[in-house]
Amino acid sequence: MLIISINIMKLTINGELKEVAKATLTVTELLKLENVTMPDMVTVQLNDEFMRPHQYPGITVSDGDTINFLYFMGGGQ
């Protein structure tokens, strides 16, 4: 009998519960996985803490984490 183990993380991404079939995942990988438009213009909030873009490759998300992708817009009159 062959037993296959798949690690699935449950993440809340922009308010939506999602399951990701990965054992480890960095913020950079998550941005790609989620097809985030203009990832260089997005601010990532991980469990209510804002991350700096240079940190994304070294930060690993964990099962149960809450991640928000935020775009700040300027303009107006």
| CATH at residue 19 | 3.10.20.30
Is the residue at 29 inside a domain? yes
Global pTM value: 0.83
Domain count, the chain: 1
- Using alpha carbons, select from 2, 68, 1, 64 the residue that is nearest to residue 34: 68
Is the residue at 55 inside a domain? yes
pLDDT tens by residue, the chain, 77 residues: 776 667 889 999 999 999 998 888 999 999 999 999 888 889 999 999 999 999 999 999 999 999 999 987 766 66
Is the residue at 1 inside a domain? no
Q: How far apart are CA 56 and CA 50, in angstroms?
A: 11
Is the residue at 77 inside a domain? no
Is the residue at 32 inside a domain? yes
